[in-house]
Copies of this chain bind each other. A is one copy, B any other.
Amino acid sequence: MIKINENYLLLQPSYLFVDIAKRVRKFQEEHPEKKIIKLGIGDVTLPLPQACIQALHKAVDEMAKAETFKGYGPEQGYAFLREKIAQFDFKNRGIDIEPDEVFISDGAKCDTGNFQELFAQDIKIAVPDPVYPVYVDTNVMAGRAGQLVKGEYSNIIYLRSTKENNYIPDLPASKVDLIYLCFPNNPTGATIDQQELKKWVNYALENKALILYDAAYEAFIQDQNIPHSIFEVPGAKQVAVEFRSFSKTAGFTGTRCAYTIVPKECTAYTQEGSPVNVHQLWMRRQNTKFNGVSYPVQRAAEAVYSPEGQKQIKTNVQYYLNNARIMRETIAQLGLHCVGGKNSPYVWVECQQDSWKFFDLLLNQAGIVCTPGAGFGKSGQGYIRLSAFNSLDNVQEAMEKIKQVL
């Protein structure tokens, strides 16, 4: 008899964004005349940068001729892209990451979801709260999470990110082995400075823990004192893996390209305590279960690093940050507390009531879709997330409507 992985039965009934989509669909069916402005899911709206479009066309033409056609590429990604990433995103910032420490993939969601496969089932994991649901759900599927008790899993250590700690969690009180961190944070938009980040790296070094550092929103960092990479912290290469993405950086949410840095020093251990190279484990995982990213897409990602590409993505990032500023200022005018929106496309708003109630209020009264904070975890209750990934017009219109409703 083919038996299921019963860990799946421990998952919470539905995926956050699916729930939201259902409520929005219902509202639209009941009010087909009303305009809806989506400030919910973090999906970009500006078209792909011209440099990427040109690179895509060129690569497609290569696929049309036998002499330039590309079949299977390297599972790890093409060297032309890995070299650009190592140079621009790391070496140019004084961080020593080599091209062969870069793994190209079709998404940071896949990579942050898949990385836990490399580790034992009985490790202790810590996740931020509120949190991007993928970190938790993939560990539930793997049988690490324990039982669901009042919306939280018994074996997971939740790192509370609250107003009190400026949305930067304290180090865990008990020992943990695998730590998920995300800065600039999704969903709160909070950032971390080098000194705070150093505490985490030192914790990992002292406890032989590993940090999975999600830096998908790195491109939005503007302030000088905010680290762009965990590898800016000395010693981090032994104890951290970093996830990056072109999704938000260059509008690739529908084009699909991301990358993960697994330094060659990065170490995990056998049950007996013998060191094992995490880079080689991930390489083996990817060689076995992945077949590389579409060639034209890798060429498009490469174009992000051309002089025009760099200019174009910066213009787009500024466009979204201007939206975020408008949202932040409106929220402040309304006398509500918020965080984020300065080095992040997200504004995390304290709504002084139940998240889903506030979600329904904004949807039903103003036609605005946000993301209820409670969907990201217990500490998200009483908050909503606003996303700046929309047009300036829509953001301005949405803020006017919010002012009328609140």
* A interface, CB within 8 angstroms of B: 1-6, 8-9, 11, 15, 18, 41, 43-48, 50, 53, 56-57, 60-61, 63-66, 69-73, 106-107, 109-110, 113-114, 117-123, 133-134, 137-138, 141, 177-178, 207-210, 251, 253-256, 268-271, 273, 276, 278, 281, 284-285, 287-297, 391
Contact = CB atoms under 8 A, between A and B. Distances in A.
Given A3-B268, A5-B120, A120-B6, A294 B47 contact: no
Given A3-B120, A3-B271, 12 more contacts: A3-B119, A4-B281, A44-B71, A45-B71, A46-B69, A56-B63, A56-B296, A66-B391, A106-B256, A113-B288, A254-B294, A255-B295
A269 B8 CA distance: 12
Contacts of A41: 72
A122 to B, nearest CB: 7
B15 A253 contact: no
Contact of A57 (B60, B71, B271, B297): B60
* CB-CB nearest 3 A-B residue pairs: A3-B120, A43-B71, A70-B254
A53 B281 CA distance: 37
Instruction: From A3, A11, A122, name the one whose CB has the most chain B CB atoms within 10 angstroms.
Output: A3
Given A63-B47, A138-B289, A288-B134, A120 B4 contact: yes
14 contacts: A1-B209, A1-B269, A1-B273, A2-B178, A3-B120, A5-B117, A18-B287, A45-B71, A56-B56, A71-B251, A73-B254, A110-B291, A138-B288, A254-B295
Given A72-B254, A110-B289, A119 B2 contact: yes
A296 B293 CA distance: 13
Given A117-B141, A178-B2, A289-B134, A56 B50 contact: no
A294 B9 CA distance: 30
A8 B270 contact: no
Given A8-B281, A66-B45, A284-B8, A2 B141 contact: no
Contacts of A65: 47
A2 B209 contact: yes
B66 A46 contact: yes
Nearest to A73: B254
Contacts of A8: 118, 281, 284-285
A60 B53 contact: yes
A278 B118 CA distance: 25
B5 A118 contact: yes
Contact of A296 (B71, B114, B296): B296
A11 B284 contact: yes
B208 A2 contact: yes
A53 B57 contact: no
Contact of A118 (B4, B123, B296): B4
B69 A2 contact: no
Given A3-B123, A60-B53, A63-B255, A113 B48 contact: no
A228 B45 CA distance: 41
Contacts of A210: 2
A5 B270 CA distance: 8
B290 A6 contact: no
A326 to B, nearest CB: 19
A121 B43 CA distance: 36
A121 B5 CA distance: 7
A63 B254 CA distance: 9
A36 to B, nearest CB: 16
